[in-house]
Amino acid sequence: MSFLSVRGVKKAFGPAVAVQDFSLDAERGEFVSLLGPSGCGKTTVLRMIAGFEKPDAGSVVIDGEDVTHLPTRARRIGMVFQSYALFPNLTVEGNIAFGLKVAGVAKAEIAARVKEMLELIGLPKLGGRYPVELSGGQQQRVALARAIAIRPRILLLDEPLSALDAKIRVSLREELRAIQRELGITAIFVTHDQEEALALSHRVVVMSAGWVEQIGTPPEVYHTPRTPFVATFVGTANVLPCRIEDVAGRLSFHGAPLALDHALTGVTGGEAMMALRPEAIALAPFEGATNRLDATVRDVTFLGPVARVRVVLAGEIEALVDLHGEATRILPEPGSASVLYFRPESLQLLDRRDRAG
């Protein structure tokens, strides 16, 4: 059995359903991100794992122990909040020692652990400072130290980097990952920032409107999105209508034949949606690019390493093409006719799930 097992969890606040039916298994030492726009239910899931919210249905099991009905204090979790939530009346040391004191750990051991934590977060000299005397990044590092000082079974992080400015966010992100990997602690990380989720996680859970859209490794979620939501929320994608012609993976787009790199199972014909990343497309033939579509260039934006070309397909559907490197030397003229080239494996057929709510 996995280390953290969340099974069939549901939660509604009055008439508003926050989490529809959430299940997740995380292994010991795994870093899992819950990614989605605000209001998708990701924070509610985290708060149910923490015990701040009671699920209406389902169970939460940590290390074989069913904690669904345990109060937060008995769950042995560590939590880091977006607003840092350091105790303003205590020094950095006092904050880190708080959980250890509550647990009745011996004084000498507390002192040793606090020192160890301060070194881990790279602030060995700031133990005597009060939270107001620290920068946002320092405060969040102290909050992290405070959460892991009690040696929790799971580390829960609720958008811990969102309140920081861009530069600190990236450096603290690296640090967070290094500390998590070093301690081998299981971590659940909530974010609305796809870059954060992709950079930090072993696996990403993409959520929308209370539902799990997809669970997978960062490359899986990026390269093989399963739903239109995942395709457009994680990175940029052209989501286009298509027709499934046969189970061998042949599709058509407004009459133009296209091919997938795999056969389909259980799908026989009909309308569907497909995703195609802008960077997977070229305006010149290249090896393996057996799919091609006629297009008209609408406009071109040159951004240095990338040139973003907006094209129109079948006279009405807009799509984006990203040109890289040498391909940006000679740019197409707006209004000119062009051909999009891409490989079968770049084309991703999407589930068309209709959901209430």
Looking only at residues 55 through 94 of this chain, which bind other proteins when binding is defined by CB under 8 A? Answer: 71-73, 76-79, 81, 83, 85-90
Residue 127 interacts with other proteins (CB under 8 A): yes or no: no
Residue with tokens 């205590």: 90
Cβ 81 to other proteins, closest distance in Å? 6
Stretch that binds other proteins, among 144-152, 161-169, 301-309, 337-345 (CB under 8 A): 144-152
If binding is defined by CB under 8 A, does position 146 make contact with other proteins? Answer: yes
CA nearest to 91, candidates 47, 53, 127: 127
Pick the closer one to other proteins by CB: 143 or 244. Answer: 143
Nearest approach in angstroms of CB 84 to other proteins is: 9
The C-alpha angle with vertex 285 and arms to 282 and 288, in degrees rounded to 5, equals 95
How does strand 16-26 pair with strand 238-244? unpaired
Per residue, the 3-state secondary structure of the chain, as one string, reads: CCCEEEEEEEEEECCEEEEEEEEEEECCCCEEEEECCCCCCHHHHHHHHHCCCCCCEEEEEECCEECCCCCHHHCCEEEECCCCCCCCCCCHHHHHHHHHHHCCCCHHHHHHHHHHHHHHCCCCCCCCCCHHHCCHHHHHHHHHHHHHHCCCCEEEEECCCCCCCHHHHHHHHHHHHHHHHHHCCEEEEEECCHHHHHHHCCEEEEEECCEEEEEECHHHHHHCCCCHHHHHHCCCCEEEEEEECCCCCEEEECCEEEECCCCCCCCCCEEEEEEECHHHCECCCCCCCCEEEEEEEEEEEECCCEEEEEEEECCCEEEEEEEEHHHHCCCCCCCCEEEEEECHHHCEEECCCCCCC
Q: Which of 48, 110, 147, 176 binds other proteins (CB under 8 A)?
A: 147
**By CB under 8 A, residue 278 contacts other proteins:** no
Which residue lies nearer to other proteins by CB, 75 or 169?
75
Q: Which is nearer to other proteins, 77 or 237 (CB)?
A: 77
Which of 41, 127, 131, 218 is in the footprint of other proteins by CB under 8 A?
A: 131
Provide the 10 A C-beta neighbour count for residue 327.
17
Per-position x/- string for 148-187, each x denoting binding to other proteins as judged by CB under 8 A, each - no binding: --x-----x-------------------------------
Q: Which of residues 15-44 bind other proteins (CB under 8 A)?
A: none
Residues contacting other proteins: total by CB under 8 A: 30
Q: Taking CB under 8 A as the rule, does residue 99 contact other proteins?
A: yes
State in angstroms the smallest separation of the CB of 122 from other proteins.
22
**Minimum gap (Å) between residue 161 Cβ and other proteins:** 16
CB closer to other proteins out of 51 and 210: 51
Q: Which is nearer to other proteins, 90 or 183 (CB)?
A: 90
CB of 278 to other proteins, least distance (A): 40
Q: Find, among 233, 229, 226, 259, the residue nearest to 244 by Cα.
A: 259
Residue 3 interacting with other proteins (CB under 8 A): no
| Min dist. Cβ of residue 72 to other proteins (A) | 5
* Interface positions, 101-120, toward other proteins (CB under 8 A): 102-103
| Span of 109-117, 139-147, 167-175, 321-329 interacting with other proteins by CB under 8 A | 139-147
Q: Which residues bind other proteins (CB under 8 A)?
A: 50, 52, 71-73, 76-79, 81, 83, 85-90, 98-99, 102-103, 130-133, 143, 146-147, 150, 156
